[in-house]
């Protein structure tokens, strides 16, 4: 049970936890030396870490509304930063990002800029003001600032659409990892993943999620950085890869020039299993138009500032001041992983394509490559494929295909690291996907239980009943997400990007103008949320069904269109209708200064 002094002991508690985890890694590597099989190691890693999260989740159980919704508003700055970083970095960041950079190079790295730059908007435009407001959920702010059940309900709708799109991808990722690590079919593994996720959040709500997310951050950052440093040292690329890979980057450019990017015919590509890709774009050279790069970065930045699972993490800090600082810490912890992803992609790419390295496969004969152990393993897992398109018997750059996940999952093995590292990476990926899924499911369930059930349907409900409703919703939403994830409709990364676009279409301007424009009123906000979401969704459907789009806005950046419509609608409708009343204006004034009581009471 968490005692009163638990908060003071946090550094010690997590210090011991980190030491214990490192000891576990060492024990596993000794076990590997003694002959433990790869499969058992994988199972141990995933089972051990998930069991720890479940214990933390159980210890954090609570029956109080403010502990359940905002972790009692006592999470210290740095720890909230870690929790946010875990909340933020999803299975996509962990497993798919380095792969994206590997295939698409510079153009893809707009996501790195977008997914970090958004935090500047969070810190300066929103987080401290929403913290001062004292809300439990994002729709709580919209509903109180603008007034009326309709505005509150619209915010819940936008939040649910965006978060649900996002969460299915995360449950999918936990299922993928669980199915590989535990060796069970994906349809069942999805539910194993879901149960693990619910163990963290069911009993303790936000409090449970907070303390498991800190634990998950520690696992995922160790699991990401250790292999990067190890591979870099093993290849002799440099002791500290981030500062020392310039030669490797220019060597890749040299090899690209030497091999050239040969375009495969459509007929040849039919042979390649679905989901695998080859290297078709330059690694470090600018390979995208400025607008393609900037529009993607901009959409991700505005999406970051509108996604509820990030925003609600800043409701848990003790003060407004702490909320601001906490955003900085969040980004620092995210930076540790994001700045390593391009390094991993560089190391992975060079080790595969450089014929002078022992691991290089380009230029070798096809039969030789097909005889390599790791190639056979990953080919069987449907993540690697070679084919002799030009019939010359040697493997060319355009004849080698890989799945996006393989860059993170397979590089340790290709570089010849012990299997214990692969087990660690599986545990890290699981932690990344679980922590994000938890944050999102909680965001949806809290919005529906607090804003729809308590604020709109039954304002007299007692705390105990509210929390039962919240927990039932958590399970229902989790199962709905898992059911859709089991259908495997879309890829992990695509649906993550869509979630950002949906969120920015409907929520960015209603949130920002709620603080920064006193004249914004209820009618304007409702119009902004409704028209923004609808026009964004319509644009997506139009482009998906063969529409040509305009201004270079693609299905990945449709939020730019949606949010522009939202802004115009909100301003026009606000100005056409009457200004908000004096009480609301005074409330906005109050929000703008950190001192004094929050707008909404401690229990509401």
Partner 1 sequence: MSKQEQHWEKSRGLLFMTLAIWFVFSIGIFLFGAEMNEVTGPFGYPLTYWFTCQGSLGAFVILIFWFANRQEKIDEEFGFSERGDD
Dist CA 151 CA 523 (whole Å):
8
Decide: residue 371, CB within 10 A, 0-12 exposed, 13-18 middle, 19+ buried.
exposed
Give the footprint of partner 1 on residues 102-121 (CB under 8 A). 106, 109-110, 112-114, 116-117, 119-121
207: closest CA among 54, 56, 432?
56
Distance between alpha carbon 352 and the CA centroid of its chain, in Å?
28
Answer yes or no: are the C-beta atoms of 62 and 5 closer than 8 Å. Answer: no
Q: Which is nearer to partner 1, 180 or 343 (CB)?
A: 343
Residue 231 CB, shortest distance to partner 1, in Å, is 17
Q: How many CB atoms lie within 10 A of CB 582?
A: 8
Interface pattern 66-85 for partner 1 (x via CB under 8 A): ----------xx--------
Answer yes or no: are the C-beta atoms of 343 and 235 closer than 8 Å. Answer: no
Residue 102 CB, shortest distance to partner 1, in Å, is 13
Contacts of 332-335 with C-beta under 8 Å, sequence gap 24+, read 332/81, 333/81, 333/82, 333/84, 333/85, 333/217, 333/221, 334/85, 334/88, 334/89, 334/115, 334/116, 334/119, 335/116
Q: Which is nearer to partner 1, 41 or 214 (CB)?
A: 214
Q: Which is nearer to partner 1, 297 or 431 (CB)?
A: 297
Verify binding: residue 137, partner 1, rule CB under 8 A: no
Dist CA 599 CA 450 (whole Å):
17
**Interface residue with partner 1, options 245, 442, 477, 513 (CB under 8 A):** 245
Dist CA 52 CA 288 (whole Å):
44
Verify binding: residue 6, partner 1, rule CB under 8 A: no
Give the footprint of partner 1 on residues 139-158 (CB under 8 A). none
**Interface residue with partner 1, options 18, 40, 268, 284 (CB under 8 A):** 284
Q: How many CB atoms lie within 10 A of CB 8?
A: 11
Q: Which is nearer to partner 1, 329 or 539 (CB)?
A: 329
Q: Which is nearer to partner 1, 182 or 294 (CB)?
A: 294
Q: Which is nearer to partner 1, 328 or 418 (CB)?
A: 328
Verify binding: residue 236, partner 1, rule CB under 8 A: no
* Part in contact with partner 1 (CB under 8 A); list of ranges 183-191, 295-303, 358-366, 426-434: 295-303
Tokens in use for 261? Answer: 């990017």
**Interface residue with partner 1, options 244, 464, 487, 572 (CB under 8 A):** 244
Q: Which is nearer to partner 1, 86 or 98 (CB)?
A: 98
Three-state SS sequence of 366-384: HHHHHCCHHHHHHHHCCCE
Contacts with 599 (C-beta within 8 Å, 6 or more apart), sequence order: 132, 133, 134, 135, 144, 587, 590, 591
Q: How many CB atoms lie within 10 A of CB 594?
A: 14
Q: Which is nearer to partner 1, 108 or 164 (CB)?
A: 108
* Part in contact with partner 1 (CB under 8 A); list of ranges 166-174, 209-217, 265-273, 313-321: 313-321
Dist CA 349 CA 394 (whole Å):
18
Verify binding: residue 286, partner 1, rule CB under 8 A: yes
**Interface residue with partner 1, options 125, 225, 272, 475 (CB under 8 A):** 125
Verify binding: residue 281, partner 1, rule CB under 8 A: no
Residues that bind partner 1 (CB under 8 A): 76-77, 106, 109-110, 112-114, 116-117, 119-121, 123-125, 128, 242-247, 249-250, 284-286, 290, 293-294, 297-298, 301, 318-322, 324-325, 327-328, 331-332, 335, 338-339, 341-343, 589, 592-595
């Amino acid at each position: 049970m968490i005692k009163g002094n638990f908060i003071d002991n946090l550094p010690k508690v997590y210090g011991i936890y980190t030491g214990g985890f490192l000891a576990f890694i060492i024990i596993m590597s000794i076990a590997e030396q003694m002959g433990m099989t790869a499969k058992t190691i994988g199972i141990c890693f995933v089972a051990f870490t998930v069991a720890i999260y479940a214990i933390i989740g159980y210890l954090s159980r609570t029956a109080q509304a403010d502990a359940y919704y905002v972790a009692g508003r006592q999470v210290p700055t740095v720890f909230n930063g870690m929790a946010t970083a875990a909340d933020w970095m999803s299975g996509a960041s962990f497993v798919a990002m380095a792969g994206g950079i590997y295939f698409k190079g510079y153009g893809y790295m707009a996501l790195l800029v977008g997914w970090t730059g958004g935090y500047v908007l969070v810190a300066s435009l929103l987080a401290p003001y929403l913290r001062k407001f004292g809300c439990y959920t994002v729709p709580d702010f919209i509903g109180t600032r603008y007034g009326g059940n309709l505005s509150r309900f619209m915010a819940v709708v936008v939040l649910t659409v965006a978060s649900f799109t996002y969460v299915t991808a995360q449950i999918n990722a936990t299922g993928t990892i669980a199915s590989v690590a535990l060796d069970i079919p994906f349809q069942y593994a999805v539910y194993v993943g879901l149960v693990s996720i619910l163990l963290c959040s069911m009993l303790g709500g936000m409090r449970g999620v907070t303390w498991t997310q800190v634990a998950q951050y520690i696992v995922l950052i160790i699991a990401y950085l250790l292999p990067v440093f190890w591979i870099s040292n093993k290849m002799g690329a440099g002791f500290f890869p981030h500062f020392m890979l310039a030669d490797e980057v220019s060597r890749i450019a040299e090899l690209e020039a030497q091999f050239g990017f040969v375009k495969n015919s459509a007929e040849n590509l039919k042979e390649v299993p679905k989901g695998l890709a080859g290297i078709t774009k330059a690694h470090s050279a600018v390979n995208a138009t400025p607008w393609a790069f900037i529009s993607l970065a901009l959409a991700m930045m505005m999406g970051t500032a509108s996604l509820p699972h990030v925003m609600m993490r800043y409701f848990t800090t003790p003060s407004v001041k702490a909320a601001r600082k906490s955003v900085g810490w969040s980004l620092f912890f995210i930076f540790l992983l994001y700045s390593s992803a391009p390094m991993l992609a560089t190391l992975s790419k060079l080790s595969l394509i450089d014929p002078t390295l022992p691991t290089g496969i380009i230029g070798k004969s096809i039969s030789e490559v097909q005889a390599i152990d790791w190639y056979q393993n990953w080919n069987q897992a449907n993540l690697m494929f070679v084919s002799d398109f030009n019939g010359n018997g040697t493997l060319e750059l355009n004849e080698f295909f890989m799945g996006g996940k393989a860059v993170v999952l397979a590089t340790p093995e290709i570089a010849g690291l012990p299997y214990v590292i692969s087990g660690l990476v599986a545990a890290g990926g699981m932690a990344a996907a679980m922590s994000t899924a938890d944050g999102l499911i909680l965001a949806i369930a809290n919005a529906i239980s607090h804003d729809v059930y308590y604020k709109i349907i039954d304002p007299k409900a007692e705390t105990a009943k509210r929390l039962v409703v919240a927990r039932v919703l958590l399970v229902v939403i989790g199962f709905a997400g898992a059911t859709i994830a089991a259908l495997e409709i879309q890829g992990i990364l695509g649906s993550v990007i869509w979630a950002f676009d949906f969120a920015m279409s409907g929520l960015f301007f209603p949130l920002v103008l709620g603080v920064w424009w006193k004249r914004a009123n209820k009618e304007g906000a409702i119009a902004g949320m409704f028209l923004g979401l609808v026009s964004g969704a319509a644009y997506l459907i139009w482009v998906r069904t063969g529409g040509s789009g305009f201004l270079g806005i693609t299905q990945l950046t449709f939020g730019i269109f949606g949010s522009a419509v939202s802004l115009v609608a909100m301003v026009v409708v606000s100005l056409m209708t009457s200004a908000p009343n004096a009480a609301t204006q005074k409330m906005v004034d109050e929000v703008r200064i950190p001192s004094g009581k929050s707008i909404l009471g401690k229990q509401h």
